[in-house]
Structure 1
Amino acid sequence: MTLFEVLFGIALIVSTKIYLSKKILEILAKYSPSEDLTYMGQWISTLFLYLFGALMVVKGFGFSISDLLVAGGFITLAISFAAQTVISNAISGIFLVMEKPIRIGDFVYLKEAGISGAVKSISILSTTIRLWNGELARVPNSKFFEDVIVNQSMPIVRRLEVKVGVPYDLEKVKTAIDVIKRAMNNSKYVLKVPEPEVFVEEFGDSAVIIRVNAWVPSKKWYECYKQVRYTIYEELVKAGVEVPFTTITVIIDRKS
């Protein structure tokens, strides 16, 4: 038993807990290109120091390092089979930070999982997404490499699509298109280039469906989504173009 190695190992573990972990975070924060990489680097560095300290303590008690490594190899192999999901998520977390398909604050949509919201945090095993209803969803990092990710914040601009029904009346259809175009051109969020598109898309059962395509800043998309829909309805009402209800025509054959 070597007292120095035992004391050194214990001191390393304690100092890592109290001081070194925070110091590593400060150093990485200065040079790391992203916050996610900073915290992941701190986690890996701290884990290494803990393991090294524990190894020194064990060695100080007279155990052979080579025997420990052999035993550790078998233990690691057994753990790897039992914790494949954890390891997969950890590796995915590292690639997630390095590749950067998403960042904290991005609005993302996982197609197969059906999860949509803002990225709140990215850790070594999972990513937390704040859903539109305010709930927090913890998504295993491996899902981001198995699913199709739509990053709605990555582009600078994003297209806004709105559909509105107007009566089967040619003059009212023309009026509606003119009114909507004017509303889009007067909106403070809708971009002038590309120019907004307003056109008849389909003929519904009870209404002519007009489609509006407008480009807006990605960060203002949701705010613009609410504002544009209300503005379109307000301007149509002012112009005397009512949005029709679904109607059913019933024909009664009295002879039968």
Structure 2
Amino acid sequence: MNSFDMMTKSPSTLVPVDVTTVQERVYQSLRLGLLKGEFLPGEQVSIRSLAEVFGTSPMPVREAVARLIAERAIEQTGPRTLRVAPYLASDHENYIRVRMQLEGYAAERAASGPKNPELIDVLRRHNDSIAKALERNDFDAALAGNQAFHFELYRAGGYPQLLDIISTLWLRTGPIVASARKDEDMFRRIFKIGVRIHDDAIDAVAQRDRAAARRAINLDIRSSHLSIRRFYKQLSSRPAVTGE
């Protein structure tokens, strides 16, 4: 019996091959970072530095970044310079209006399905994780918990195409929400209000109240947007400090 015959007779010992490309893994990691607010609006990024972080050659990073440029989450500002899409008040207002329509609908769909106690438990755990993160001033964990809560809810709507569109919009607004960390009091206030509104959304889904679920999610999006808009107005009115 040759070695090939021996291998074919013990398939249970073989390890499944990961067919995911390096470029795809880099893309998904960058995408998740944008969704969770690990990058800030206008932040400069470079292919070389990202490649060092991921431990890859520049090529897969360049390909992943090209996809994010097409999705308008990252901008090419020069031959070799890139930045996360900056905050523009008019653009952000439009994104918020679209998000309210799409995410409100996704929440409606989640509330219109059959009763799902497991979903309610998972949503409550995500929401509790936000509250606990705020207590220990772990703002990164609060952002991650918020992202997990929303996408768990929207995934329950059973409409993957809608989830894809919402995810793309979050790529453009996630860094903007994360920028509120510069004002810790405001950030904490936004997310404490969000936790209470999330409780209302969870109750609405549990009671299969579609209108209440949409209303809660829309209020959550709008209330955080208004706070962030005030934050950026105050930021723009401050005098520039040399070396800041």
Range into which the TM-score falls when normalised by the shorter chain: under 0.3
Question: What is the TM-score of this pair, normalised by structure 2?
Answer: 0.23
TM-score by length of 1: 0.22
Question: Larger radius of gyration, structure 1 or 2?
Answer: 1
Identify, as 1 or 2, the structure richer in helix.
2
Ranked by relative contact order (alpha carbons within 8 Å, sequence separation 6 or more), the top structure is 2
More strand by share: 1
